[in-house]
Structure formats: structure tokens, C-alpha cells
Structure 1
């Protein structure tokens, strides 16, 4: 028996595709067999499996579980919930790995798999290995299949989110976007002090109200309306599988991922002076300056949740975050990205700093920046273009950070051009102190693209 995956589905950080076109139950079965075989060869015996609220998730779960059991692995199904609840299961139950079936923040027709192998992220070459094993039928089918049991861990997980909570009572709006976080948030707010107003906590894989990606400002419209109508202190929003957070202040202004990190870092650095705080290359210079000002050691690292988690373990950083709203706490927590936990820690941070969320947002330096710009480029060219850009910048003697693509510092601010690890797109971003400076930075990006025979075409979707 062999299996061939659609090559577009085996991505850098996870496996993802369009159900019925590039992903289906046969893929789920093959993932189960490959993962189980690798785990047994490494001495493992049990895997936790969770799923999000998409219509296709139960069928993919059934096939995945069948594949895992066929190769002799015992499966613990934790059921419907956010991805961090599966990560929590993997960290706390007696299991050797975990797999969440989720399309993350993609549209409803997508689904996929996020994996943890013996408490470390399973990504990059690991995922390619599953493809090779399937093509060769390199699976260890067991004489006796593994057992399948169910574990209800939702209450334990919510209890863990609240453990050690020491925050004030605020009036907060919560938008779960019909994603997998809804039931957890309903239970969480019953335990939190204050007044809580909930939007779209019923899980619906068709996302009838708005797309659950809190990094796109248009998806925060309902939350802004709620905060304005009820005159709430602030609002929190979650992506489809609950591993990314969005926030707005009492005036409806967005608090972006790097700005959230600057708030969350303050109490952490009070407890751990001089600690390393990691952010990705898309984060504002204002964040790195703020971490240093608070006595921390700012570290710029590559974009991608698996890469950040790996770097945190290596450096012992208590906190990390990405522009995309992934926030990772190793301080008093497990080091994985958890939007529900980030929400609890954010409420606590606001309380400990002693200013309102609106004041904290107002205190931040005013920067003019672009959103993340993404444009299509041929897959075979995307990394080559970045190499060409780096060579030209080097020849010009520019101030370049090569951590992930090219991040160039100038007197006006900085600009970034990097290749996406997950799609055939280039990603650009720029930040300056004023619009004239931003225009000069954008002209530099356009000049580099032109020199590689490209232009900033129409924006590519996620």
C-alpha cells in the first residue's frame, strides 16, 4: 500500500489543503500511519487527537485515528476545541504526541493538521518525511491495532488558563468568530471577574458572521461595534482554531500583535529582569526598543510558529510573539501559542501596569506602517528573488538584517522583503515615522522588485 499527497498540501508548519480537491480522508489515514510509524520507532505509544469545528473535521478525524491505530498507536480523542487545547493535552496527558485537525484561519473549504511529536513541534523536514514514507508505503502495520479512548479535558484546560490569575475586573467584549474557541471562552468568562459580552461563540465551520482572522481589521467590525455600543474597556478576538489573538482598545483602535507583546512583556520582565523576549522580523522597531527600555533582551527571529517555539527552547525565553497574533508563554506556561491564555495574561498585564488599555495604546509611539503586503511570485523564483535583493543590498553597503529575508534599516525607518514559507508569495512590510518616509521606503521596495523584474502586483490572499 502506498499513498501520494498533493504536493501543495505538505507545507512548512503543517499539512493543509482544500477538502475534496487537495486533501481528504485518504490523506488523513496516511498521515496517521506515517506519524504512528515514526512515533513507534522513537519509542512512543500514545497520541492525543483534537479537531476544530469545520464540517470536514469529523471525517478527517475518523480516518486519521484509523491510520494511527492500524500502526499500533493508542489514540486519546479530546474532541472539539481550539488547537491550544490539543497542545495542552499533549503537554499534560500521558501521551507521546498530538495532532489537531484544523484549517486554522483559512476559509471554510480548507482543513489540515498541526502536529506535536514528543513535546516538540513537528514541521519542515518532518512533514516531508511523511510524504516520502507514504509514497514508499514505509509503514509498520501492527499485528493488533491500537486502542481508541475519549478524554474530556475542556474543564481542566479552562481551569489551567485561570491558574494563578491575579487581574482586575474589566468590561470586555469577546469575539470567537464561530471558531473552535467558543465553548472554552463561554466557560472562561464565567470564572473571570468583571463584565463580559460574547459574540459568535457557537461553533459553525461555515463562519456565517465574518472570517475568523483577527489580523485583518475588517474582521473586527462586529467587535468594534460592541465595544462602542456598550462602552467597554477593550475587546478580544480569536482566529478559527484559537492560537492567534486580536485586540482593540476602548476607542476601537486595533492593538496589533507586536503592540500586544510590548504590553505583555512588561510584567514578565519585572519578574525576570534581563530575560530574552522574541518577536518575528515583521514586528515594529518600537517593540524591540520597548523591550530594551524595560531591561529585556530583544531577539528578532524568523516568522513561523514552529520556528519561534524552537528558538524559545534554545534561548530559554519566557515570552515570544508574532505580528500575526501568535503569542507564546513559557513563563508560568508550556511555551506554545495559545490565544485564550494570552487573553488571560493580557487582562492581568493591564491590571499590573495600572493603566487602561486605551491609555497603554495611546502611549505607544506613533508609527506609520503598511499592513503585511503579499504578492504572487512563481514558487521557483521566490527564494531566488530574495537572494538577488540581498546581493544588491550588500553591494550598496545597506544596513541589512538577514534573519528571515531582507530587513533594511534606513534613516526613515525599515522595510522588509521575505519569501513566504507556506505560499508562492513574497511578503513586504515597511514602517516609518511619517508618510513621506514611508513613501521613500516603499520606493526602495519597488526598486528592488523592478531590478528582479517583478512589481508589486495585486495583493495575494492568505
Structure 2
């Protein structure tokens, strides 16, 4: 029997909707049956399944497993945990599961509101996105499913995962580790239990915040890219005189940070620290950042002897570009950081946290000192505003065409990014929602005002306006 998904839930990078409205257990069952059919068509027979701490996740996970096994594919259930632990299970090089699995699905709403949920997928060690997700929709719509009776088994891989995370500290000075004091805010997300297990084995002093898993997110929303969500961590760092603080989103693949002075260290600033550490041992390496990152990051990578590469926003495009170029490090302004030098190339905020500890010790400077040395820029946050679906992509194309007709130098890697004497501005269409995204950065407030005035004029020229 065929199944039609709500048209809004098949996104570019994952499948995501509002539980009870656009997303149901029947959808989860259809996702599992379709994914299992793809696995079988490629000669696979076994996948891993995990889920986050949202209230709806156990129900969706149960239905998902039913769908996968109905396609004749075996399932290894790894239980509650962060998305990177599922990636770890589904990565043959990690050796977490024997025999190996060919893919994996994590039930997660990521950083979204509590009533949202969805599925992140990997297959044969690569992200499953874009056309792959469209194909799942077609399989379900046509009912072209494989059939069979797959088996189900449970596996506890949390211990092996923590062991692997701790491997990032190999060769690090023990005395320096003992002196560190770090705050960890799990935001009541799925990473909490792993953080507890990890910090129990780490030297130094650790202050844990909101590590109990609670799908209602009672303390604050689990998105560390929004400054208001870092208030508890900032207060703890300052009050307890910690060296720095770390924050995580609902499924543990986005990292946020606060230095010892209580200042937010944004994702592109963190990437500059990681780059400084990595390029010391691997000069001339390509390092990737998305189009929303600061120009100072790309300049810093080049100054350190690296090769900066600006690429499309989205964890799946970034991972694919890393494989294409052999880049050992990449990151996004959304807090996704990817290491492929001594790790597996997927976004893991817990691993990024341990690498930050290692980086500050190897560099020999505190995170606050490293932050002090960075240029002070004035920037907008990521400004998102709704537009009609039929205008979303067309508006950006029209702005791009006008700029090129004027002879302006434009980077069109992902939307429109324009450099000016004041700084730069970006206009792009979201791949997951009917919104346009604007961001701008300048040396001073006056420059930022001029950049935003140009953005507003460009929007007006294509019949749109940005709300205050």
C-alpha cells in the first residue's frame, strides 16, 4: 500500500515535521520501509537506528523499525543518544558494530521546537540528502517497497563512543588537563548522558548543566547558536571562574562556546582556533567554511598557511565537499564542525568539544586570549524572513542578475555574497524552509548600516521587504 508524505516534510538535508500535524508514526513506518528498500537495492542488509530525547521520539523510532524490518533489512537499535553516536555506529571505520551496518537513521528534531521531530540518515558512509530524500518519497508514493522479515537486536555502544572521543586527547599534557575547569550545558538534550560519562573520565574540574534528558526542554531551547540560550552557561562560567563553557543542541551535533570572560565565541571563531591547531601539523590543508562565515576567518586560514574554501551552507553539502577535496576540517555558522584528520568527517559537537580542549593546550593559550586576538567586527545575526515559496529562489536569482549586469563582483556559491569597502552582505534562500536569509558584517556600525541599506534596496527592487 502506497504512502503520501505531507509535502512540507521532505527537506533538503533530512525529513522533518511537526509531530501530530505534518509528521506521524505512519510516516516513520514509510520512511523505514523506503530506506530499507534502498539499502536492499544496493546489496545491504543491516542498518543502525537511534533516537533523541523528544517526547515523540520513542513512538517514531518504534514505527521506523517496523518499516525497516518489513523491507527485509535487519536493525541494530542503539537507543537514546546524540546523532553523532548514530553516525559513529554507521561508520565502518569506527568499528562500533560487528558485523557492520550499511546505513543508519536517527530520529531527531535537532535544534527545533519540542513538538518537531524527524529523521537524519546516512548510507554507505555518506550523507543521505537532496535527491536521495526525494527518491524515498517516490518509493513511498508508488508503494514500490521491498518485502521481507528483518531481525532486531539491541547494542550498547555508548562506552565505545566515549572511548573514541577521549582519543582526541592522546598526547596532551596531563598537568595542563588537570588545571582546566570547563562548563557543559546539554540543554536537556540527548547528549546529556554521554556528557556525564565523558566528563567522569576527563581530568580537571567540570560543571554540568541540564544534562538530564527532558523532551520539554524546561531550562532553555537547545540551540547554542542563539545567544539567549547561552545565558545559563555564561553565568556559570563567570560565577565559577571556569576557563570556558560548552553548549550543545538537542541532538548533539551543534556546538556553542563561551570564553572565560563570559563572551560568546561564535562558530567561525571556533573554527579559527581549530584551524590554528590543525595547520601547525598539516600546513597547506584546505579548510572549508560556509558562506555565512566571517571574512576574517578566511583571512586567518590563509595567514596560517591553509587554503580557505567558501562553500554552501548545510551539513550534507559540507560533508560531501570535504570528501571531494580531502579537507581535514570544515565548519558552519550553525555550529556544525567536521573533523576528518583523526576522526570520521561527520559533525560531532562532543568530539569538537574535546578537540577544543586539546587545541587550547597545544596552542598554549586560553580561549579568552585567543578570542582577544581576533579582529572585532560588527555583524548581524542570521536574519530569516518568510517569503512565498514561488519567490524564494527567483528573488535571489533576480538580485544576482542585477548585480552582474552592473559589473559587481559577486560570489554565487550559495545565493549572493557581495564584498564592499564596508564589509560584505549575503542573501540566500533556505534549503529547508520558505524563507530568505540575510547576514552582513562590517568593521563598524556605520558600515553595517550601509550594508543593510543596500540589502533592503535590493530586496525592494524585486518586490520584497525585510521585516524589522
- Do they superpose with TM above 0.5? yes
Residue equivalent to 2:13: 13
Q: How is 1:82-97 mapped onto 2 (pairs within 5 angstroms)?
A: 82-91=82-91, 92=95, 93=97, 94-97=100-103
1:389, CA displacement in angstroms?
Answer: 0.3
Q: Does 1:67 align with 2:77?
A: no
> Structure 1: where are the runs of 5+ without partners?
none
Quote the residue 1:108 is aligned against. Answer: 114
Contact 1:248-1:254 at 8 Å conserved across structures: yes
Maintained 8 Å contact 2:257/2:264: yes
Deviation at 1:164, TM superposition (A): 4.4
Matched, 1:98 2:104: yes
Q: Within 5 A, what are the aligned runs for 1:148-167?
A: 148-165=152-169, 166=172
Structure 2 equivalent of residue 2 of structure 1? 2
Q: Any conservation in 1 of the 2:168–2:358 contact (CA below 8 Å)?
A: no
1:186 aligns with 2:196: yes
Map 1:32-431 → 2, pairs under 5 A: 32-91=32-91, 92=95, 93=97, 94-142=100-148, 145-165=149-169, 166=172, 168-169=176-177, 170-431=180-441
- Take 1:353 and 1:387, find their aligned partners in 2: how far apart are those partners? 44
SS in 2 for 1:105: coil
CA distance in 2, matches of 1:369, 1:59: 42
CA RMSD in angstroms comes to 0.7
Separation in 2 of the partners of 1:395 and 1:76? 55
Cα deviation digits, residues 142-193 of structure 1 (max 9, x gap): 2xx0110000000100000001412632111110000000000001111211
2:418 and 2:409 map into 1 onto residues whose CA distance is: 6
Contact 1:173–1:226 (8 Å) recurs in 2: yes
Would the aligned equivalents of 1:172 and 1:232 in 2 still touch at CA under 8 Å?
Answer: yes
SS of match in other structure, 2:390: coil
| Superposed structure 1 runs of 4+ greater than 6 Å apart | none
Tell me what 1:25 maps to. 25
Q: Report how far residue 315 of structure 1 moved.
A: 0.2
Q: TM-score, normalised by structure 2?
A: 0.97
Aligned to 2:467: 457
Supply the distance in 2 between the matched residues of 1:147 and 1:106 (Cα, whole angstroms): 32
Contact 1:412 1:433 in 2 (8 A): yes
Q: What is the count of residue pairs matched by the alignment?
A: 456
Taking structure 1 as the reference length, the TM-score comes to 0.98
Write the distance in 1 (CA, Å) between the matches of 2:21 and 2:351. Answer: 35
